Amino acid sequence: MRLAHEQELDAPRDAVWANFMDLRRIGRCFPGAKVTEVHGDDFVGEIKAKLGPLSMYFDGTGSMVERDEDGGRARLTATGQERHGLGKATIDITLTLRATGTDDRTRAHLVTDLVFLGFPMDFGTGLVQRASDPLIERFLSCMAVSGAVPDAEADDEGSLDLVRSASDLLGSFRRDRRERKRR
């Protein structure tokens, strides 16, 4: 499944690039993720995702496989295994940064190729795209912040809540439908 996100960030291109090159920061900025080890361009990490009252934990490894600072392009790949189940996931993320017309803003384009196997994630690409939009928006906004980013809290507030994302998505469908009826 391929997802694409584009967002204009309130930060200079060089600052956003530097933040994306910090693998630990990537883990702190993505909801539910934590990078536990970094060795050069390789990392080890985990993601906690909630599906209603159920919590799923994935352990994985990954690498920054491409860094083209002049072209503003980076690529990261990772694979993960569900701790207490048969679920597996692979992800390939390509980031492209472009300057806007001003020095203090950057356009970020993120393309994500996802493969999920063995757990209840059989949604259509359109649904996953819309549900992921707010998560990626938060992630990209965090990557534009200068200075240190605190680690996610150990409680459930730091996990990736799939039901809340789906509820937010359903709420947006209802709003869209109400707006169409008013027209």
Q: Which residues is 34 bridged to in the sheet? A: 46
pLDDT, one tens digit per residue, over 85-109 is: 888 888 899 999 998 888 899 999 9
CATH 3.30.530.20 applies to domain 2-182: yes
- Pick the more confident residue, 71 or 31: 71
Give the pLDDT confidence score for residue 74 in this predicted structure. Answer: 97
Q: In this predicted structure, what is the pLDDT of residue 44?
A: 97
Distance of CA 165 to the CA centre of its chain: 13
User: What is the three-class DSSP state of 30?
Assistant: coil
Burial class (CB in 10 A: 0-12, 13-18, 19+), 176: exposed
- Asked whether residue 131 carries a pLDDT value surpassing 70, the answer given is no
Residue 119 pLDDT > 60, yes or no?
Answer: no
Q: Work out the percent of the chain whose per-residue pLDDT is above 90.
A: 39
pLDDT greater than 50 at residue 137:
yes
* Its pTM surpasses 0.75: no
pLDDT score of 57:
86
Domain boundaries, the chain: 2-182
Write phi, then psi, for 140 (nearest 5 degrees).
Answer: -65, -40
Examine the pLDDT at 52 and tell me if it is beyond 70: no
Give me the pLDDT at residue 163, please: 45
**Average pLDDT of span 50-70:** 86
Averaged pLDDT, 136-148: 82
For range 117-144, the mean pLDDT: 66
pLDDT of residue 151: 61
Contacts by residues 20-27 (CB-CB < 8 Å, ≥ 24 positions apart): 20/74, 20/95, 20/97, 20/143, 21/64, 21/67, 21/74, 23/64, 25/143, 25/149, 26/76, 26/143
Mean pLDDT of 141-148: 83
Q: What is the pLDDT of residues 145-174, one digit of tens each?
A: 887 776 654 444 444 544 444 444 445 444
Q: Which of residues 43 and 150 earns the better pLDDT score?
A: 43
pLDDT given for residue 64 in this prediction: 97
